[in-house]
C-alpha cells in the first residue's frame, strides 16, 4: 500500500486514436479515482508492438495518449502516468512469470485466437505471451484492483493464477489483484455497425468518433450513423443504431433515456443526429483545447514523463528486487 491507499492499475494501448467510447466507457471514470486509490495509468506501448507499427507515427501516438490522459483530467501529480517501455522491470518480470505460466493456460486465451484471426500474417510469440506481460504490468505495482471489461476478464484471471502459484511456492510475493467494479461507463458501439464496440482499430473511420475529431467531422459521422427505416427516436433492442445514439446523447448531456425520448418525440432522425453531434462537440471541446495547449508545451510534458517514469520505476523495481531474491537470483551488490 502507498500512502495507506489501495493500489489501482490500468492503461491503454498506444495504437490508433482514442475514441469517444474509450472516454465515456473508461477514461471519464478514471479521473477521480485517485481520491480513494493510488493510481497507475500506463501508456502500454510494449503491448502495442504485437501488431506492426510505423515508428514515427507510433512514437507520436504514444506521446499523444499520455497528453490525452492529462487533457481528460488525470492529474499527473496525483496519478502516475507513465510509459510501459520506459520501465524495464516490465520485460524482466514478464520473463520470470512466463516460467511459471503453463502452455495450457495460454492456449485457452480467447483474445489470442481473435487477434490471430485478424492478423493472420503476423501471428507472433508476443501475441501469444501477451497475457504474461499483462500479468507483469499488474503484479509489479502490487495492484489491489484492476478495472476490467469483458475483454480483460480472462487476463485478470490468469494474472491471479500466476500470482497465487508463485506465492504458493515462495511465500508472500505478490498482492492478488481483484477486479474493480466502479461506476459503469457508457458502452458505446460503432456508428456503422452497432453490434460491435466503437473501436480505435476499426477499419471504417466513420464507425468511430475520435477524441481529436473536429466539429465538422463529428457532425458528418453522426449524420452517417446507421439507424433504421422507422422514424421514432426510441430505445429498443430492435433499434440498435438509435439506441446507441441515445446512449451517446445521454452520456454526454447527463439526461436520462426517457427524458431524451420525450425531447425528440415527433422529431426526425436528422434533427436527433445533429443534437447528438452537438452534445459530443460540447463535451470534447474543453479536452481538445487542453490537448492542443499541452501539445505545444514540450518542456512541461517532457518533465511529466521523466517524473512519472521515475516514480513507476521506483515501485516496479522494489517488487522486482523482491522477486529476484525469492526465486534465488544472485544478488547485485
The residues that are catalytic are 115, 197, 200
Cell 511456492 appears where?
A: 169
Strand order in the sheet with 145-147: 80-83, 37-44, 6-13, 145-147, 178-180
Residue 181: other Cβ atoms inside 10 A: 9
Q: How far apart are CA 79 and CA 38, in angstroms?
A: 7
DSSP for 280-317 reads HHHHHHHHHHHHHHHHH-HHHHHHHHHHHHHHHHHHHH
Residue 282: other Cβ atoms inside 10 A: 12
- In sequence order, the β-bridge partners of residue 9 are 40
**Helices 269-296, 215-223: inter-axial angle, 10-degree rounding:** 150
Amino acid at each position: 500500500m502507498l500512502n495507506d491507499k489501495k493500489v489501482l492499475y490500468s492503461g491503454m494501448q498506444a495504437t490508433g486514436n482514442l475514441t469517444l467510447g474509450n472516454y465515456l466507457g473508461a477514461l471519464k471514470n478514471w479521473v477521480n479515482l485517485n481520491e480513494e486509490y493510488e493510481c497507475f495509468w500506463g501508456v502500454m506501448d510494449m503491448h502495442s508492438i504485437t501488431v506492426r507499427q510505423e515508428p514515427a507515427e507510433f512514437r507520436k501516438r504514444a506521446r499523444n495518449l499520455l497528453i490525452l490522459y492529462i487533457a481528460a483530467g488525470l492529474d499527473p501529480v496525483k496519478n502516475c502516468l507513465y510509459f510501459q517501455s520506459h520501465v524495464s522491470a516490465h520485460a524482466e518480470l514478464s520473463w520470470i512469470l512466463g516460467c511459471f505460466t503453463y502452455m495450457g493456460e495460454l492456449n485457452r486465451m480467447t483474445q489470442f485466437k481473435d487477434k490471430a484471426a485478424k492478423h493472420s500474417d503476423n501471428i507472433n510469440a508476443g501475441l501469444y505471451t501477451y497475457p504474461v506481460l499483462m500479468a507483469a504490468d499488474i503484479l509489479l505495482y502490487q495492484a489491489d484492483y484492476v478495472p476490467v471489461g469483458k475483454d480483460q476478464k480472462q487476463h485478470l484471471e490468469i494474472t491471479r493464477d500466476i500470482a497465487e502459484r508463485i506465492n504458493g511456492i515462495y511465500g508472500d510475493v505478490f498482492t492478488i489483484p481483484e477486479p474493480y467494479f466502479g461506476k459503469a461507463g457508457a458502452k458505446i458501439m460503432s456508428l456503422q455497425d452497432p453490434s460491435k464496440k466503437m473501436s480505435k482499430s476499426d477499419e471504417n473511420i466513420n464507425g468511430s468518433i475520435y477524441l481529436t475529431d473536429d466539429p465538422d467531422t463529428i457532425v458528418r459521422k453522426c449524420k452517417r450513423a446507421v439507424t433504421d427505416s422507422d422514424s421514432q427516436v426510441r430505445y429498443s433492442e430492435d433499434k440498435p443504431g438509435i439506441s446507441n445514439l441515445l446512449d451517446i446523447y445521454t452520456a454526454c448531456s447527463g439526461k436520462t433515456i426517457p427524458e431524451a425520448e420525450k425531447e425528440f418525440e415527433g422529431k426526425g432522425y436528422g434533427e436527433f443526429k445533429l443534437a447528438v453531434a452537438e452534445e459530443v462537440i460540447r463535451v470534447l471541446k474543453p479536452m481538445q483545447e487542453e490537448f492542443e495547449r499541452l501539445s505545444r508545451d514540450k518542456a512541461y510534458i517532457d518533465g511529466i514523463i521523466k517524473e512519472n517514469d521515475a516514480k513507476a520505476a521506483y515501485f516496479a523495481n522494489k517488487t522486482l528486487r523482491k522477486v529476484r531474491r525469492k526465486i534465488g537470483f544472485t544478488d547485485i551488490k
